[in-house]
Every structure is written in C-alpha cells, then in structure tokens.
Amino acid sequence: MLKKSLLALVGGLVLLAPTVGLLAIAALMNPGGQSAVSCAEVPGGSSGQLADDAPVPDAARAWIAIATQACADLPETWVAAVMAQESSFRPDVFAMDVNGGTWGLFQINQHIWRTVYGDFDTDRNANGIWDIREPEIHAEYGARYLCNLLDDVRATRAAHPDWPSTTELTELEALVIAHNAGPGRLSTYPDILAVTRDYLDNVRQRMRDWAVPATVATAPPDPSLPGGEACEPDGPGSVGELPPPPAPFAGVPGGLVPDPTSSGLITRQLLHLLAETRRAFPDTGWSCWSPRPGTSSEHPVGRACDVTYGNQIGTYPTDVQVAEGWRMATWLQHHATALRVEYLIWQGVIWSLARDDEGWRPYDGGGMHDPNSPTGGHYDHVRITIL
C-alpha cells in the first residue's frame, strides 16, 4: 500500500514539476534512507554512512540522499560535512566573492552552475524561486558537478602519481581542496591557503564525528567473506600486499631488556616483535616503555608499544597513514601467534587473540581513555600489547 501511495505521489510530482530532478523522486522511493554505496575511499576509515544522532536537520538528510544518488561516489558523511561547511544546511545562503558570488547548499558560483544547469536566476518550474536556491534541485545538480570534478581529480592523480596531493590525500580529500580552492591547488599541496586547510580539517573531523559508530565495518575488508572486497583492492586505504611473514619468537618469554625506543625496559618477546615489525614496516614511529603512573597499562611492564605513521600523537593521521596502519594491524593479526600478540587497537576498534572469532569490535576506552579523542580512541596510533 505504501509503495502504491508513493507511486501516486511520484506521478503527481512529475505532472506538477517535471523539471525537478528524478533523483528527488528516487529519494521518496527510499523512505528507509538506505545508504548509497560509495567506492571512493572514505577519510578516517569510517563507513561513510551518516549516523542517526549526527547533528544534521531532518530536511537536510533528504537533500543528502538526493546528492548521494546523483553521485554514488560521494558518501553521506562527505556530503553532509561539505554542506555544513559551505552553508550550514541553509539552501538560500549567498556569499559574495570575486566570481560574482556563490549560492546554496554547496555554494556554487554562476560559471559552475551554468555548466550543469543554467543561470543563477533560472526558474524552470516557474514557482518564483531561483532553482539554485531550491534544495532538492541544488543537491542533485550540485552533486553532478562534484561528480564531474571528482573525475577531474582522479585524472589529475593518475597523471601525477608523485604529487603530495596524490600520495598523502585520499581522492575525497583532494576533492575538498579542488572544490574549495580550485583543482590547480592540487599541484601546490601541501602549500595551500590556511582557509582551505581549515576547511579540509573541518570536513575530516565532521566525517569522523558524524559517521555510524565504529564496528567491524571500520576494519579492513576481508576478501574471503561475501561482500568483503574493497572497491579498490590495491588502492590507498585498502590492505594491499602484506610484507613476508616474521620469524617466530623462539626464546623464553619474560625477562627485561633495554627498550630501543626509550630509557626503560621491555620483555624479550616485545623486543623481538619490535625488530620484526620494524623490518616489515620501516617508516614507522615507535614508543614502547612508559611509566604511566596510576594506570593499569602494559607499557610500564614492557608489554606494549604505540606506533605512528608520520603523524604526531594527538592529531589525526592522513588517510594514507590510516591505510598503512591497517596494513600493519592486519599483518600483526595474521601473525599474532608467532609474535605473541595479545590485542591490537586502531581507529576506534579492538581485536584480541582470545576473541579472534569476533573480529574487530568497538573500543570503549577500557575505562581509562576517552574513545572519542584522537589518542584515547587510538585514531592517532596503533596499540600493540603482547602476551
């Protein structure tokens, strides 16, 4: 009955407003709000699906659905984060700039709007409102523009694989820069204006904060499971090819030896893991022994290390660094018995040898840490604890 009612409503919409995008109608046919699948890599390792408790107005969620259906490569969280940054979800916002101003949810200038729709004052449905200010139309055609721009970004990255904007950013992060400052800025990255850097940081943060809570979906895909293949199995952010297996620990567990990462002492088995893992992943930063007074941490007893990938503790890593963290975490998971790994924490999820059959599980901070902070949630470092 609901389906028939929706079909009747669709028919009325087509008769009353034939120029309203069909994707707005498609959004009505998806009342459950199922997420469009995106094959673009999502910054921060999140699912890209907008959480129910994300601070996004109900009306804006419908516009986001229209946009993601117009361009399946734009995840919900990316669209929401950019809309929030550009317009605070206000479809009638205008901002003057050197190009004659920008309008609407995505703040699009007249030159760009003409390439996908028409002049600023185009009113195809004759309702007295410029179509660029109508959120359903703007969401659909703005997403089409962004999809075209994403194609240009991909072509640029393919032509310039060694540019820092290619090696250090995901394509969605590069798209943020191209939309905010123009595609030419990809050639100058990381030399970009402070306003663009702040814009990128805000989008990254909102995508992390507004995504569906971390679950097994945030762990690297397992190609052996149905639906487990990544969209780009060999691209940035996927596990990719892993280093050769490590030499198993063959000594007697226990005992303390000097820690090469500090002035403290660590166990013999942790020193072995450190040496083998550094050999496999040389471009990493390590911190093992630490006093940690007043905690039940394994660091003071020489059984834990924290690993970074070029980022500073307290700051979120780039998505290329997140991908490298997943490579290491997956390698350690595969060789947990040989290296005596007890558990791993990364990107808000935890895996333990004792509960291996459960895979990666949400991490709640263990009663000591704020799981929503970069360090407490282990978003800025991989935590390794050994038996």
Instruction: List, for residues 158-207, the tens digit of each pLDDT value.
Output: 999 899 999 889 899 999 999 999 999 999 999 999 999 999 999 999 99
Type of residue at 350: I
Is 56 in contact with 67 (CB distance < 8 Å)? no
Q: What domains, with CATH codes, occur in the chain?
A: 31-210 (1.10.530.10), 229-386 (no CATH)
Q: Which residues pair with 211 in a beta bridge?
A: 50
The reported pLDDT for the residue numbered 75 is 93
Q: How far is Cα 177 from Cα 185, in angstroms, rounded to an integer?
A: 7
> How much is the pLDDT for 217?
38
**Among 116, 142, 176, which residue's Cα sits nearest to residue 63?**
142
Give the Cβ contact number of residue 256 at 10 Å: 15
Residues (pLDDT < 70) of the chain are 1-47, 213-239, 294-295
Are 28 and 6 in contact by the 8 Å Cβ rule? The answer is yes
The chain-wide mean pLDDT, for the chain, equals: 83
How confident is the model at residue 43, as a pLDDT? Answer: 54
Q: Is the peptide bond before 190 cis (omega within 30 degrees of 0)?
A: yes
pLDDT of residue 145: 96
Helix (H) or strand (E) holding 102: strand 102-103
